Structures are given as structure tokens and as C-alpha cells.
Structure 1
Amino acid sequence: MAFNKKDKFINHLNNIAINLKESAHYFADYKLKNVSDLKIFSETMKEYETKGDTLVHQVIQDLNNAFITRIEREDILSLTMSMDDVLDGLESTAAMFEMYSITEADSFMIKFVDAIRLAADEIVTAVELLASKNLLNIRNHAIKIKDLESNCDGILRQSIKQLFISEKDPIRIIQYKEIYEQLEEIADSCQAVANTLETIIMKNS
């Protein structure tokens, strides 16, 4: 089955995915130098998150008013909410950086964020393919997202192990561990997006 590129819900999903990608790239590329940068970083991520909430509201409103949808309603909603969970996680992590006055990401945080950025790129490509004739192409991108999440599982184990070896400040241990775990949860949310995409493939191929 092919979906019309002008389909309202395909366009909504694409807009949500693009906003997510832009936020993930901003998060990954922003250079923190001092505490004042943290405020700008956190506020900008909040703007992305607020825009995402508006886009989600539009999907829900249109779902309530739609008589027939080309993709099943629950799959549209699931894909919408799982993408929104990724963005919510990024915004929450940015707030943690500001709250804990962390102005320099360590190597583990950078690895997490790079993986999440790549996953966001894959999500955009996969959502764009919903409007194409060959939904099976989406599966390759879903697999890549899952591979990136699996890599994040390993990064989490390594980061926490190294944290307890090298960090002596108990407060810093708590703060960094929380951020590591939050970043891994974002990767889990990316995997949830991949799972929903695969469900859509199964139902519509």
C-alpha cells in the first residue's frame, strides 16, 4: 500500500520527525562554554519541546475528527507519542545540564548524543518513506535505530563502571549517573519508534 504524500497524517508525522531531528542536532552541536550558555541551551530545547507538543496536539485533534485514516489510528498515535518521548527526553536532559551546572560533556555523554542524533536522522528518513510505494525500505532504518539503541546499552554499562572508578565526589556520581541513564532512556524511546514503524510495515505491506 502507498500513502499519498498529501495525506494529512503523513505530513503531521513528517513535521514531528523533522522537529525531532532539528532538536537532536542542536543538542549534539551546541557548544557549552559557561553557565550562561546552559540557560540558552535549556531554553532553546524547551522551545523545540513546546513546538513538538503543538504538533502532537494537532495529530490528536485531527484523529478525533477523522472518519477514515490510511494508517490505523493507534499506529499514528503510537508513532506520534514515541517520537515525542524522544524529544521530551532531550529537553529533560538539557534541563539537567543547567540544573547541575555541567558545562562540559564527557566522552560517554558525547557517544550517547551522537547515537541519538543518528537515530533521529534514521527516524526522519523512515517517516518520509511512509509516503513511498515500498514500505519495506523502512525496515532497514528501523534496524539501524535498534542497533544504535543496543550500542547505547553498552555505553551505559561502560559509563557507570568508569564513573565509580574515577569520580570521588558522591554528588557528582549521582548527577552523572542520572544523565547517563536519561540518555539511555532516550535511546529506548528511539527503539520504540522503530518498533512502531515495523508494526506499520507489517500491517500495510
Structure 2
Amino acid sequence: MFNKKSDKFSLYLVDFAQHLVQATDHFVHYKVKDPVTLREFANTIKQYETEADNKVHDIIKNLNQAFITPIEREDIMQLTMTLDDIMDGMEQFTALMDIYQILNSDNYIDRFSDNILKCSNEILTAMELIADKKLKKVESHAIMIKDYEQQCDDLYRESLRNLFQSEKDPIVVIQYKEIYETLEDIADACQNVASTLQSIIMKNA
């Protein structure tokens, strides 16, 4: 099933995962100081998301032209689209922060973001292993992604519980509820990547 040389689709996925890590690293570590830097933050993530859309287009174009693929076409497509879902979620989050003019993260946003960055790093490692024809080693990284997503599930419930108990302003409640839901959606997209990786492992065992 796998030749000695890395196929172009595996390399496309590695490139996409590298792009994801770069975007997520900026997403986590960029420091917003005022409305100007908040807008810069949102615009930069939007640029990462636009570049990701171009990568999706390139993969689909080459997939349609390929006669043989290293793994099933639908698996390549599923990995591509779920990686794009993560990028879309980050772009949506930064857009919300800009729209609502929220200049500071909180403990929950920081913890969500940290888990999302960890997921991104695990995704990149998994893609590199697929490119290196080391499919059996991918499982542990898929499991780690799901563990981080589970932490985000717990964090989501905790964040909403705290929000409804401590915040009296209904507008603020609406804003932060949407922000926490968006972060949870990003984590769910990471889990979808992990599930696709596990499906690929089973099909090629």
C-alpha cells in the first residue's frame, strides 16, 4: 500500500498540518493589548485560514486527477476537511473577539487554547508518521488528541457553569457562551481528525 518514497498526498497533509501548527501557535501566543492589536490578531488568523482554503483547493484538485492514492480517497478528503474545520474555528473565534471587542482572554480561553495547540502538535506528528510509512505509530497520537478533546469537554461544562453562576449581564453571557462554544467546536474538529486517523489505521492494518 505504501511505497518507500513519501507520496505527494502525505506531503500535502504534512504541509497542511505544519500550517495548522503555525496558525495555532500564533493563536495561542499573540498578545492583544488594545483594539488595534485585536484587529491585527483577527486579520492574521483570517490570513492563515485563507491560505488553508487554498491548500484544500490544491489537494482536491490533485485528488481528482490521481489514479492511485496511498490511502482511500475519502480518508484523504476527510483529513483535509477536518483540518480546515480547525482553521475555520480559529478564524471564527478571533472574529467574535473582534466583533465583541474582548481584549483579554480568561482562564477558560487560555486552557482551551493550550489543549488545541497540543492537539495540533499531535496532528502534525501523526501526519509526519504517515508520510514516513510508520502507520502503526500513529495510534498513540490519535489517542492523545482524544484525551485533549475530552479535557475540553470537561472545560466547556465548567466554563458554562461558572458563566451562568457568576455573570449577571445577559449580553456578556451571550458573548462568552458563543466564544466557549466555538472553542469546543475546534476541539471537536481535532477529535474528528483523530477518529479519521484511527479509521485509516484499521483499514491498513
For the aligned pair, the TM-score class normalised by the smaller chain equals over 0.9
Distance in 1 (CA, whole Å) between partners of 2:156 and 2:57 is: 33
2:100 and 2:175 in contact (8 A); partners too = yes
User: 3-state DSSP class of the match of 2:67?
Assistant: coil
Partner of 1:168: 168
Distance in 2 (CA, whole Å) between partners of 1:164 and 1:70 is: 49
User: 3-state DSSP class of the match of 2:70?
Assistant: coil
User: 3-state DSSP class of the match of 1:136?
Assistant: helix
Deviations for 1:48-79, whole angstroms, at most 9, x for unmatched residues? 00110000000100011111111110000000
Distance in 1 (CA, whole Å) between partners of 2:4 and 2:169 is: 56
User: 3-state DSSP class of the match of 1:33?
Assistant: coil
Deviations for 1:145-201, whole angstroms, at most 9, x for unmatched residues? 000000001101110111111111110100001000110010000000000111111
Could you tell me which amino acid in structure 2 is paired with residue 16 of structure 1?
F
Partner of 2:139: 139
- Residue 5 of structure 1 deviates from its aligned partner by 4.7
Partner of 1:80: 80
User: What is the TM-score with the length of structure 1 in the denominator?
Assistant: 0.97
For the structure 1 residues 76 and 117, does the alpha-carbon distance in structure 2 shift closer, same or farther, using more than 3 Å as the test? same
User: 3-state DSSP class of the match of 2:46?
Assistant: helix
Could you tell me which amino acid in structure 2 is paired with residue 126 of structure 1?
A
Equivalence map 1:175-194=2 (5 Å): 175-194=175-194
- Residue 39 of structure 1 deviates from its aligned partner by 0.6
Alignment RMSD: 1.0
- What percentage of residue pairs aligned between the two structures are identical? 50
2:2 and 2:133 in contact (8 A); partners too = yes
Partner of 2:49: 49
Could you tell me which amino acid in structure 2 is paired with residue 162 of structure 1?
N
Distance in 1 (CA, whole Å) between partners of 2:48 and 2:173 is: 29
Partner of 2:15: 15
Distance in 2 (CA, whole Å) between partners of 1:188 and 1:45 is: 19
Distance in 2 (CA, whole Å) between partners of 1:186 and 1:58 is: 23
Partner of 2:126: 126
For the structure 1 residues 186 and 4, does the alpha-carbon distance in structure 2 shift closer, same or farther, using more than 3 Å as the test? farther
Distance in 1 (CA, whole Å) between partners of 2:154 and 2:89 is: 19
Partner of 2:66: 66
For the structure 1 residues 149 and 6, does the alpha-carbon distance in structure 2 shift closer, same or farther, using more than 3 Å as the test? same
1:2 and 1:134 in contact (8 A); partners too = no
Distance in 1 (CA, whole Å) between partners of 2:149 and 2:3 is: 28
User: 3-state DSSP class of the match of 2:43?
Assistant: helix
Give unmatched runs, 5+ long, in structure 2.
none
For the structure 1 residues 3 and 185, does the alpha-carbon distance in structure 2 shift closer, same or farther, using more than 3 Å as the test? farther
The reply on whether 1:99 has 2:113 as its aligned counterpart is no
1:126 and 1:138 in contact (8 A); partners too = yes
- Residue 4 of structure 1 deviates from its aligned partner by 4.5
1:89 and 1:186 in contact (8 A); partners too = yes
For the structure 1 residues 143 and 165, does the alpha-carbon distance in structure 2 shift closer, same or farther, using more than 3 Å as the test? same
Distance in 2 (CA, whole Å) between partners of 1:103 and 1:33 is: 7
User: 3-state DSSP class of the match of 2:163?
Assistant: helix
Distance in 1 (CA, whole Å) between partners of 2:133 and 2:190 is: 24
